[in-house]
Amino acid sequence: MTARLTGIDHREVLRYLGYGGHAVPADAEADIARCAETVRRTARPRAVWRRFELLPDGTLAGTGFRPAGEDIRAHLSGCEAAVLMAATLGGEIDALLRRTQVTSMADAVLLDACASAATENVCNNLCADLERELAPLHLTDRFSPGYGDLPLSQQADLFRVLDVTRRIGVTLTDSGLMLPQKTVTAILGLSPAPAKKRARACDTCTLYATCLYRKDGKTCGTI
């Protein structure tokens, strides 16, 4: 299954930039469009996923990996299997951001927001492809290490089970940071019945664990 970047949602970019419902100056709109095109040209998305049966105690069969916490247990309630996934825009985006931070911090901020929205698009496309491939079962929302009481430390288990570094070139630092940074990992449930989707909020955002707005006590404008 090929990772696909099919577009960069302008509304998502504005949320990451903190505009919310505020009007955007015309010159800023032009700069955002320019940076979005740069991200589209530069990104080299890659993804990996695997399906596992769920044992009664919540362990993913054959892995020894048992996602910890009550939140993920509730998330997978009623599911007969789970999917682990990882998706990245590739190291080319990190290199682009580093170069741009030297020449123009304003552009670097716009590129970062566009890259975050692009990451969301790649993840959404992967989930849509999985939904079709795994039918008639239904996917839940994505649930990533660092959400709720699912420990960020379990990122290492997910990397081990999916062999993320070898398969898509993403590494995990001792502090839990993924490199390239525009990378998402997640656990999804597979249920016989359609799963109710969660309302959007900071603690359900794909980029919760690495969000700079949240670390500064702010939001991107989504909530």
Confidence of residue 123 (pLDDT cuts 50, 70, 90): very high
The pLDDT tens digits of the residues spanning 24-63 come to: 778 889 999 999 999 999 999 999 999 999 999 999 999 9
Q: What is the CA radius of gyration of the chain?
A: 18
**CB-based contacts of 130, cutoff 8 Å, min separation 6:** 1, 49, 83, 85, 139, 188
Give the least confident one: 8-17, 142-151, 192-201. 192-201
pLDDT band of residue 212 (cuts 50, 70, 90) is low
Residue 120 pLDDT greater than 90, yes or no: yes
* Edge-to-edge order in the sheet of strand 183-191: 46-53, 81-88, 183-191, 138-139
For residue 23, the model assigns a pLDDT of: 73
Q: pTM here?
A: 0.87
Task: List, for residues 135-157, the tens digit of each pLDDT value.
Answer: 999 999 999 999 999 999 999 99
Does residue 216 surpass a pLDDT of 80? no
Q: How far apart are CA 62 and CA 214, in angstroms?
A: 36
d(CA 187, CA 76): 9
Q: What is the pLDDT of residue 93?
A: 98
**pLDDT exceeds 80 at position 103:** yes
Q: How many C-alpha atoms does 101 have within 13 Å on its Cβ side? A: 7
